[in-house]
Amino acid sequence: MSNPDRFKLIFEKWKASLRDRDRSAEYVTSNFDDLFDELSRAGASHDEAHEFLSAATKAHQPAPGLIRNYWKLQKGKSRAFDLSEKEFAEKWCGDIADQAVNSFNNSFSIDVPEAQGFAAGKISDKEYKLMRKHADQFKPLDLSSLPDPNEELMTDEEEILKYIKERMK
């Protein structure tokens, strides 16, 4: 069996397995990771695997009826839900497409060659991908709300009260 046929078979097997997989938002990335990691292990190049990206994205997107029913459910639950059905569908499908692209780029990185290790700690690409996958689960830390460390701290109570009153206005 030639490589392109083997890659198509891997894709078809993954596509068929979607029926039994959890396709909720928290599992979308791992579903795509399974496909692209399997293609990578089978020896697919960046370009060969890229051919399956749009088909995989389309295969993972929900049916229009499911989108409509979920939109109606969300619309009925909250008056603050202000998206039209079309906007909701585009957002949902766009989020899935974004996760597919991210998963593809994690598996088929063209920036860092496989043989070259990272300078910081000489970790392998596989270790780096696992580390990034773990780190990306957390929200970025916002340091803008912290006080300026170069600013002198107020120690006098009257000064602190005056400062608070100024900020309350």
The encoded tokens of residue 50 equal: 């890229």
pLDDT 10s digits, 13-71: 999 998 888 888 888 889 999 999 888 888 888 888 889 999 999 999 998 999 899 88
What is d(CA 115, CA 87) in angstroms, rounded to the nearest whole number? 44
Mean pLDDT of 68-90: 85
pLDDT over 70 at 140, yes or no: yes
Domain that holds residue 121: 3-168
Q: How many domains does the chain have?
A: 1
| Banded model confidence at residue 120, pLDDT cuts 50, 70, 90 | low
pTM, two decimal places:
0.60
Q: What is the DSSP string of 23-46?
A: -SGGGHHHHHHHHHHHHHHTT--H
What is d(CA 91, CA 63) in angstroms, rounded to the nearest whole number? 14
Written as one letter, the residue type at 24 is S
Question: What's the pLDDT score for residue 121?
Answer: 65
What is d(CA 52, CA 12) in angstroms, rounded to the nearest whole number? 10
- Distances from the Cα of 156 to the Cαs of 62, 152, 153, 167, in angstroms? 61, 12, 9, 17
pLDDT 10s digits, 84-93: 889 989 999 9
Contacts of residue 102, defined as CB under 8 A and 6 or more positions apart, other chains included, come to: 29
Q: What is the DSSP string of 82-115?
A: ---HHHHHHHHHHHHHHHHHHHHHHHS-SSS-TT
Least confident of 10-14, 71-75, 140-144: 140-144
Helix, strand, coil share of the chain (percent; to 5)? 60, 0, 40
pLDDT 10s digits, 103-117: 998 888 765 555 455
